[in-house]
């Protein structure tokens, strides 16, 4: 999920359009359609067809399928805070960041509109909280910022660990499932304060949609007029904090790879391949050399 296969290749307009289209679709189909759809079902049924755990499972599974849908094309960037953090770490080109963020936000808007269309008859009897996050009555401004920073930092620490080939990465093909599990455990443990947005695109564009759909400017003035910017800015800060924590406490402590041993291993594998009709995989060795 973290690395785009041609991140270092020249960027063309066609490639950017392909990436942007794929990101928009993944946001529409997965994170907003299934995630907000689970909230809509629980809310409009008054907890008779689901409960808080259903919402956590909905967002966890939609993250999993969103990664599977677009991993091979766009790198499965579902979260602007993650994309920003990868740019900060030098793992993703800054020139692509604006296109990715715009696509993520636009896809979230379309997803919210789709859920509203599907639940149109029931949804206007309930609050706009189906689409965006809102603070609990007891939550202060500082408490909301801290809540989002900690939640997004935890997300980045786990995601970076799952993709770090120098550590103990997730088995190939299981990354989306484990990232979905990370989202679920954050929701189970950190969701009561404000609904664990931990994703700027997941919150701001659906909030704009609810404003357009008739909930007026109350969607921005809730929480004494301050809350709307917290899930927009705090997750970006949390993503950078989580990235720094992982790099400083884990990343810089990995032993340097033995290049001589790697070259010998490559030569041995090439010799085995010449004597065998079966193709050999060199992905692990190549990853070691690239680090």
Q: What is the CATH number of the domain that holds 114?
A: 1.20.1080.10
For residues 59 and 115, state if they share a domain.
yes
* 168 and 225 housed in the same domain: yes
pLDDT on residue 13: 56
pLDDT, mean of residues 129-140: 84
Q: Which of 66, 64, 58 is nearest to 23 (CA)?
A: 66
Same domain, 269 and 172: no
- Return the pLDDT at 271: 58
Q: pLDDT by residue (tens digit) across 3-28?
A: 444 444 445 655 556 555 555 655 55
For the whole model, what pTM was predicted? 0.71
In a domain, 3, yes or no: no
The percent of residues in the chain predicted with pLDDT above 90, rounded, is 20
Q: What is the pLDDT of residues 202-248, one digit of tens each?
A: 888 788 888 888 888 888 887 777 788 999 999 999 999 999 999 99
Residues 183, 59, single domain; the answer is yes
* pLDDT given at position 186: 92
My answer on whether 105 and 210 are in the same domain is yes
Rounded CA gap, 68 and 28, in Å? 14
Structure confidence by residue, pLDDT tens digits, 63-116? 888 787 777 667 777 888 988 999 999 988 898 888 888 888 888 888 888 888
Domain count, the chain: 2
Residues 191 and 264 in one domain: no
Average pLDDT value for the chain: 77
- Do 75 and 182 belong to one domain? yes
Q: Are 234 and 265 part of one and the same domain?
A: no
265 lies in the same domain as 206 = no
Residue 146 has pLDDT above 90, yes or no: yes
Asked if residue 5 belongs to a domain, the reply is no
For residue 57, the tally of other CB atoms under 10 A from its CB is 18
Does 221 lie in the same domain as 181? yes
Residues 266 and 211 in one domain: no
Residues 277 and 216 in one domain: no
Asked if residue 1 belongs to a domain, the reply is no
Mean pLDDT of 263-289: 47
Range of the domain at 110: 13-253
Out of 107-111, 179-183, 287-291, pick the least confident: 287-291
Give me the pLDDT at residue 28, please. Answer: 57
In a domain, 7, yes or no: no
Q: What is the pLDDT of residue 15?
A: 56
Predicted local distance difference test score (pLDDT) of residue 141: 86
Return the pLDDT at 283.
Answer: 41
């Amino acid at each position: 999920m973290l690395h785009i296969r041609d991140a270092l290749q020249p960027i063309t307009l066609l490639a950017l359009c392909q990436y942007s289209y794929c990101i928009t679709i993944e946001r529409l189909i997965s994170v907003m359609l299934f995630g907000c759809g689970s909230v809509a079902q629980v809310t409009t049924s008054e907890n008779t067809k689901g409960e808080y755990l259903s919402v956590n499972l909905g967002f966890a599974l939609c993250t999993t399928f969103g990664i599977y849908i677009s991993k091979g094309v766009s790198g499965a960037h579902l979260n602007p805070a993650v994309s920003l953090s990868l740019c900060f770490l030098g793992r993703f080109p800054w020139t692509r960041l604006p296109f990715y963020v715009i696509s993520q936000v636009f896809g979230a808007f379309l997803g919210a509109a789709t859920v509203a269309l599907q639940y149109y008859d029931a949804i206007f009897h309930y609050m706009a909280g189906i689409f965006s996050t809102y603070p609990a009555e007891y939550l202060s401004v500082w408490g909301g910022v801290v809540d989002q920073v900690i939640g997004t930092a935890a997300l980045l620490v786990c995601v970076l660990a799952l993709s770090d080939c120098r550590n103990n990465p997730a088995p190939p093909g299981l990354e989306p499932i484990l990232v979905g599990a990370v989202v679920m455990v954050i929701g189970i443990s950190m969701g009561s304060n404000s609904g664990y947005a931990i994703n700027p695109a997941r919150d701001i564009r659906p909030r704009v949609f609810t404003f357009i759909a008739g909930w007026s400017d109350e969607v921005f003035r809730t929480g004494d007029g301050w809350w709307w910017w917290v899930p927009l800015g705090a997750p970006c800060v949390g993503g950078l904090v989580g990235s720094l924590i992982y790099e400083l406490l884990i990343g810089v402590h990995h032993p340097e790879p033995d290049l001589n041993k790697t070259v010998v291993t490559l030569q041995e594998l090439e010799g085995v391949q010449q004597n065998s009709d079966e193709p050999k995989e060199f992905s692990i060795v190549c990853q070691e050399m690239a680090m």
